[in-house]
Amino acid sequence: DQQVKQNSPSLSVQEGRISILNCDYTNSMFDYFLWYKKYPAEGPTFLISISSIKDKNEDGRFTVFLNKSAKHLSLHIVPSQPGDSAVYFCAASARGYSGGSNYKLTFGKGTLLTVNP
Partner 1 sequence: EPEVTQTPSHQVTQMGQEVILRCVPISNHLYFYWYRQILGQKVEFLVSFYNNEISEKSEIFDDQFSVERPDGSNFTLKIRSTKLEDSAMYFCASHRAGPSPLHFGNGTRLTVT
Compute the least distance from the CB of residue 84 to partner 1, in Å: 19
Rule CB under 8 A: is residue 33 a binding residue for partner 1? no
Rule CB under 8 A: is residue 27 a binding residue for partner 1? no
- Measuring CA to CA, how many Å separate 33 from each of 13, 41, 71, 72, 95? 24, 24, 11, 10, 10
Local structure of 82: helix, strand or coil? helix
Spell out, one character per residue from 68 to 107, where the chain touches partner 1: x when CB under 8 A holds, - when not.
---------------------x-x---xxxxxxxxxxxxx
Looking at the DSSP bridge assignments, the partners of residue 3 are none
DSSP at 91: E
Smaller CB distance to partner 1: residue 103 or 116? 103
